[in-house]
Amino acid sequence: MSRRILQVGPLKPSLAATLTERYDALVLPDDDTRAAFLAEHGASIGAVVTTGRTGVPADLMAQLPALGAIVNFGVGYDTTDVEAAAARGVLISNTPDVLTDCVADTAIGLAIDTLRRLSAADRFVRRGDWSGASYPLTRKVSGKRVGIVGLGRIGQAIATRFEAFGCPISYHSRREVPGSPYAYAASPADLAADVDILVLATSGGSGTQHLVDRQVLEALGPDGYLINIARGSVVDQDALVDLLLTGGIAGAGLDVYTDEPTVPAELMALDNVVLLPHLASGTVETRAAMEQLALDNLDRWLADGTVLTPVPEVS
């Protein structure tokens, strides 16, 4: 087993420093020297450390013949070719659980901000508009019907938080969750048609590409709100922009986008849309825990060829 470590893509600075200082890791160039670098070092790489934003596509994996593990900083891994990894017996780990609370908190914060238009109200005060007018009435959050797409760890945590607001909860997942107290909807469109707030907490990747399409958004309707802390790929972004501009849905709270860091320019001036820079897990405490779990996965693989938190598709 090759023990050489490769960093692929930007990482949290302290994690990148640890990889260099403790593991003598190499860093994959992101310029015209990449091909020569891989020709020289590719065959010696045993493990890659990366993020869900960068990942390891099939073409890169093919240039790492000794690759045994992909250690992912973050819970998402849709930018890594899971099928190619599974075919070669390459383990993939991620950092679940440690970011659940912060991501769920962000979903709740986005919902409150979007319905009550708190960010827009802040801009209203800063512009000096309060001196000449009252701020428009907004929408109540408590008691709203909430639908969650993806009732995994994060989805469950979001549901628990909304229950504290007296919100009836329903959900759609690939399969019904045994023992769940929440109503199950057979499709995203069925779910959207019966709720006021649709929260996306599902994984990304080809299996959920545009899972929330125009039909689903139209089912949510002109009084419905979309909250997305999942992946931008889950939503048909063009349809979402169109419906937000035309009143097809009431508003949206977005932490993720189709082509990050690009955000549709049409949304910038809308007060019924809250735009975040993919920060759901971005707290000091959670990022430290994610970093430690990534290193623990790497250490376990170096010790015995396994990982602590393998993704299910290749475990």
- 100-275: which CATH topology? Rossmann fold (3.40.50)
Going edge to edge, which strands form the sheet with 45-51?
26-27, 4-7, 45-51, 69-73, 91-93
Burial of 169 (0-12, 13-18, 19+ CB in 10 A): buried
The hierarchical CATH code for the domain 4-98+285-314 is: 3.40.50.720
Domains 4-98+285-314 and 100-275 equal at CATH topology level: yes
| Strands of the chain, DSSP E | 4-7, 26-27, 45-51, 69-73, 91-93, 146-149, 169-172, 183-184, 197-200, 225-228, 251-254, 273-275
Closest among 306, 290, 149, 286 to 228, alpha carbons compared: 149
CA distance 43 to 50: 18
Q: Which residues have CB under 8 Å from 30's CB, separation 6+?
A: 9
Number of helical (H) and strand (E) elements in the chain, helices listed first = 11, 12
Catalytic site positions: 231, 260, 278
Say if residues 310 and 92 touch (Cβ distance below 8 Å): yes
pLDDT of residue 222: 98
pLDDT of residue 314: 55
- Residue 87's Cα: distance from chain center in Å? 25
Strands 169-172 and 273-275: unpaired
Predicted TM-score (pTM) of the model is 0.93
Biggest distance spanned by C-alpha atoms of the chain: 71
Output the six-digit token pair for 117: 């238009």
- CA atoms within a 13 Å half-sphere pointing along the CA-CB vector of 180: 23
Cis amide bond preceding 136, omega within 30: no
CA distance 158 to 109: 11
Say if residues 138 and 117 touch (Cβ distance below 8 Å): yes
Could you state, in chain order, the average pLDDT of each consecutive group of 10 residues for the chain (315 residues)? 94 98 97 97 98 95 98 93 95 96 98 98 97 96 98 97 98 96 98 98 92 98 98 97 98 97 97 97 97 98 97 68
H or E element at residue 154: helix 153-163
Match 């992101």 to its residue by tokens: 30
pLDDT of residue 2: 84
Closest among 75, 74, 28, 21 to 47, alpha carbons compared: 28
pLDDT of residue 315: 46
Sorted by where each begins, the domain ranges of the chain are: 4-98+285-314, 100-275
Closest among 52, 45, 100 to 68, alpha carbons compared: 45
